[in-house]
Amino acid sequence: MRIVIVGGVAAGMSAASRARRFDPKVEIVVFERGEWISYGACGLPYVLGGDVDNFDSLVARTPEQIRGRGIGVRLRHEVTGIDAGAGTLTVFDRDAGRTVTEPYDRLLIATGVSPIRPDLATTDLRGVHVLKDIPDGQAIQASLEGAKRACIVGGGYIGLELAENFRARGLSVVMLEKGPEVAGRILDTPYQRRIREVVEANGVNVRCGTTVTGLTGKAGRVTGVQTDAGLVRADVVVVSVGVKPNTALARAAGVRLGKTGAVAVNIRQETNVAGIYAAGDNTEATHRVTRRRVHIPLGLTANRMGRVAGVNMAGGHATFPGILGTAIFKTFSLGVARTGLTQAEADALGLDAHSVDVSSTDHAGYYADAAPIHVRLTAERTTGRLLGTQIVAHHHLSAKRVDVVAALLQQRGTVQDLFDCDLAYAPPFSSVWDVMLVAADRLHREVRAG
């Protein structure tokens, strides 16, 4: 039996590792079109700012270590076609410059996402970048040598992470966001504003409601970003306006996509084509709160999907539990997190949702260095069922308490269930009534009253 995996980052390597653990004898081969495998892409912004030493630090396992576990690794091998009927792949060996045919019994498509590149990001000007993989990061790092002005196009979480890291290098930073606020797809509006205020207070020039119209350059190097509100001078431009799933290979093989545009799978990560699995950022998942299929590419989701696919490809039985879209990021001292639905998302789905907002301190107000924490908690009005939470914490680590709500959403818990939780209290850690309990208490009274 031969398991072939296309793509060697989060989902692909998780699958390879799990398949190997499940069956020590099955043949496993990973084809990766790039030169890097098994690395933490989420750490890329921090190499640029210095909180991660270098790009090599992001590598969890080297190709040699992986091969040492009996997993074949072919770098710079791009899978260009699948013949599902024959059970073969066409693979372009970039070093040899030739295409070979490879057989498979079970195939995993873990091709991930690509950054959306508006026309301006496909320029020939040097100094214009996206940030998706290690080569992107290396290119940005090279551009930053001697640079003084950075322009980040897009105010999503990667842009916000980059803003911190660019400021840490002493760059002047302008962030251009087309929408009315930063973090537009992540949090409800009042929480978007809280983030922007802190980012601005850290010296980032944030310009929301600004559309990029072009670039200026000189001697082949970018010198500025043209917008509908004037020119922004910049030595380095990073465009971070979202991602799209890499589905061309799947589609060509007859693999069905879902309404989200990502690959459709069942809970075993099987596609509609026998023997072909999909996992990772290119793949849909079921949202546990709404039961709908969604495409929310995130690191843990990709790893978990890969794990499930790996076990199943090796002959085991594993199922994917669905996601809550739990996400967290740091920008400057802020931690920002969410799980489940925002009020706006619940409204858009026609749910009868109600939210409360609580501002408190992350630990006892009298204990040193208590930092503000802002929590929105959302529930279904008629049933009290928890729908989601959003947290903006001024000591970033405190945003991790989003996990308590994630655990309860997983169990389809109610606001009352949250309030009843015996959470940990001591003055250096929380108030007697942890802010999540305060929010639950208030929300419980309001949904009961409502």
Looking only at the bridges linking them, the beta strands covering 221-227 and 212-218 are antiparallel
Site string for its own copies, 29-48 (x = CB under 8 A): -----------x-xx--x--
Least separation in angstroms between residue 200's CB and its own copies is 21
DSSP secondary-structure letter at 220? Answer: T
Contacts with 416 (C-beta within 8 Å, 6 or more apart), sequence order:
384, 440, 444
Least separation in angstroms between residue 429's CB and its own copies is 5
Q: Which residues in the 361-420 window bind its own copies by CB under 8 A? A: 364, 366-368, 395-404, 406-408, 410-411, 413, 417-418, 420
**Can residue 219 be called a binding residue for its own copies (CB under 8 A)?**
no
Site string for its own copies, 57-96 (x = CB under 8 A): xx--------------------------------------
Q: In what order do the strands lie in the sheet with 98-103?
A: 77-83, 88-93, 98-103
HEC letters along 322-348 = CECCCEEEEECCEEEEEEECCHHHHHH
**Can residue 329 be called a binding residue for its own copies (CB under 8 A)?**
yes
**Can residue 449 be called a binding residue for its own copies (CB under 8 A)?**
no
Measured from the CB atom, the residue of 247 and 390 that comes closer to its own copies is 390
Least separation in angstroms between residue 418's CB and its own copies is 8
Measured from the CB atom, the residue of 47 and 212 that comes closer to its own copies is 47
Number of residues counted as binding its own copies (CB under 8 A): 66
Q: In what order do the strands lie in the sheet with 106-109?
A: 72-75, 27-32, 2-6, 106-109, 276-278
Q: In this structure, are residues 290 and 341 in contact, taking their beta carbons and an 8 Å threshold?
A: yes
Least separation in angstroms between residue 54's CB and its own copies is 9
Choose the stretch contacting its own copies; rule: CB under 8 A; options: 76-84, 139-147, 241-249, 329-337: 329-337
Q: Give SS3 for 44.
A: helix
Structure tokens at 319: 């199922």
Least separation in angstroms between residue 411's CB and its own copies is 5
Please tell me the distance from the alpha carbon of residue 410 to that of residue 324, in angstroms, as a whole number.
Answer: 8
Q: Residue 351's closest CA among 292, 408, 293, 398?
A: 292
Residue 145 region by backbone torsions, left for phi larger than 0, else alpha for psi between -120 and 50, else beta: beta
Angle, in degrees to the nearest 10, between helices 189-201 and 157-168: 10
Please tell me the distance from the alpha carbon of residue 374 to that of residue 387, in angstroms, as a whole number.
Answer: 17
Please report the beta strands in 178-289, taking only residues with DSSP state E, as ranges in sequence order.
204-208, 212-218, 221-227, 230-233, 236-239, 243-245, 276-278, 285-286
**Can residue 316 be called a binding residue for its own copies (CB under 8 A)?**
no
Contacts with 387 (C-beta within 8 Å, 6 or more apart), sequence order:
289, 340, 341, 346, 351, 353, 378, 379, 380, 409
Least separation in angstroms between residue 160's CB and its own copies is 11
**Can residue 424 be called a binding residue for its own copies (CB under 8 A)?**
yes
Least separation in angstroms between residue 243's CB and its own copies is 16
Q: Which residues in the 285-314 window bind its own copies by CB under 8 A? A: 288, 298-301, 303
Please tell me the distance from the alpha carbon of residue 18 to that of residue 76, in angstroms, as a whole number.
Answer: 23
Question: Binding its own copies by CB under 8 A: which of 264, 324, 346, 375?
Answer: 324
Catalytic residue selected from 42, 151, 208, 421 = 42
208 is catalytic: no
Measured from the CB atom, the residue of 92 and 433 that comes closer to its own copies is 433
Question: Binding its own copies by CB under 8 A: which of 165, 269, 283, 326?
Answer: 326
Contacting positions for its own copies (CB under 8 A): 10, 40, 42-43, 46, 50-53, 57-58, 288, 298-301, 303, 321-330, 335, 337, 339, 364, 366-368, 395-404, 406-408, 410-411, 413, 417-418, 420-430, 432-434
Residues labelled as active-site residues: 42
